Amino acid sequence: MTPMLRRTAAVLSSWAAGEHRSTARATQVRGANVTVFPAPEDVAPKVSLKNISLSYATNSKGRLVALQDINLQVRAGEFLCIVGPSGCGKSTLLHLIAGLHQQTSGEVLVDDAAVQGPGTDRMLIFQELGLFPWLTVAQNVAFGMKMKGLPRTTREAKVREYLKLVHLQQFHDSFVHQLSGGMRQRVALARALATEPDVLLMDEPFAALDAQTRDLLHDELERIWAETGRTIIFVTHNVREAVRLGDRVVLLTFRPGQVKREYEIDLPRPRHLEDVHVAGAARDILNDLREEINKSLEAEYTK
């Protein structure tokens, strides 16, 4: 088993040991056929990051500050996208929320409870997906439930439910190597959803896909988000993708990563990458992002 697969198995096992909590409620329809799950104003945020900082020891016996004084709140049922230059700590932030790493200072809270480690209320989809090649599609989806000790009949019912949700019922008995890249992404999504987390953490899940497959998966993810009411925190380098999917886009600065600006995306759903309003909003964010990219390039070439 590769290190990536060992890590995935360990994380799924840890998540399976916790208790599931579900608080999302459908309260509003925005655009055609898309239900949005906002939190009432008097309800505590689903995820809170309070004064989060993270630093590492370096080989030169110094310290590298990766994240500094991050303060961010995520509403229940919100689709939040995070963008920023390479190396700003976007993925690291997801790992802190998932409980895979510990911040140097500050607090990560989910439902006002401090995150102490992985739990079934949060699920992270890695860039590498971490699917097990020796298991069938159904067995991959069922893995976390099996580690949790759910009865076989329950697992089988949920596998059917979530494979239907991602339109992969006919590939129930296929192996990972028999699937396209987009289909593998959907298997990873079904496996994540099958543990029924409140918060879904997605780390550039569509970056390696061709444009056509990516567009189809945008539609699928938006539909699944609307149907399940999950809170999604989605990291991407693609600003237009962030605008197409997100209720809100958060821009992080170059290292140390800080919240530079937040953008409310008040556009009707469903959206498309080609929409002029999506392109316009993305252009405004990209102008701010370029400043941070330039800082990263200057730091690289002045070493």
CATH number assigned to the domain comprising residue 229: 3.40.50.300
- Give CA angle at 285 (282, 289), nearest 5°: 125
Residue 68 lies in a domain: yes
pLDDT of residue 2: 53
Q: How many domains does the chain have?
A: 1
pLDDT of residue 76: 95
* CA pair distance 166, 159, nearest whole angstrom: 11
Residue 60 lies in a domain: yes
pLDDT of residue 1: 52
Residue 189 lies in a domain: yes
Asked if residue 140 lies in contact with residue 132, where contact means CB atoms within 8 angstroms, the answer is yes
Residue 140 lies in a domain: no
In three-state form (DSSP H/G/I as H, E/B as E, the rest C), the secondary structure along the chain is CCHHHHHHHHHHHHHHCCCCCCCCCCCEECCCCCEECCCCCCCCCCEEEEEEEEEEECCCCCEEEEEEEEEEEECCCCEEEEECCCCCCHHHHHHHHHCCCCCCEEEEEECCEECCCCCCCEEEECCCCCCCCCCEHHHHHHHHHHHHCCCHHHHHHHHHHHHHHCCCHHHCCCEHHHCCHHHHHHHHHHHHHHCCCCEEEEECCCCCCCHHHHHHHHHHHHHHHHHHCCEEEEECCCHHHHHHHCCEEEEECCCCECEEEEEECCCCCCCCCCCHHHHHHHHHHHHHHHHHHHHHHHHHHCC
The tens place of each residue's pLDDT in the chain, 303 residues long, gives 554 555 555 445 444 444 333 332 222 323 333 333 444 455 679 999 999 999 988 877 778 889 999 999 999 999 999 999 988 999 999 999 999 999 999 999 999 999 999 988 899 987 777 889 999 999 999 998 888 888 999 999 999 999 998 889 999 999 999 999 889 988 998 998 888 899 999 999 888 888 888 898 899 899 999 988 999 999 999 999 999 999 999 999 998 999 999 999 999 998 999 999 999 999 999 999 999 988 888 777 766
> Domain span at residue 211?
18-128+176-301
Residue 11 lies in a domain: no
| Strand duo 231-235 + 79-83: pairing | parallel
Residue 144: strand, helix, or coil: helix
Residue 201 lies in a domain: yes
pLDDT of residue 238: 93
Residue 134 lies in a domain: no
pLDDT of residue 119: 87
pLDDT of residue 38: 45
| Residues β-bridged to residue 249 | 81, 263
pTM of the model: 0.82
Q: Hey, which bits of 130-207 come out as E strands?
A: 199-203
* CA pair distance 134, 3, nearest whole angstrom: 15
DSSP letter assigned to residue 2: -
DSSP letter assigned to residue 205: T
Residue 197 lies in a domain: yes
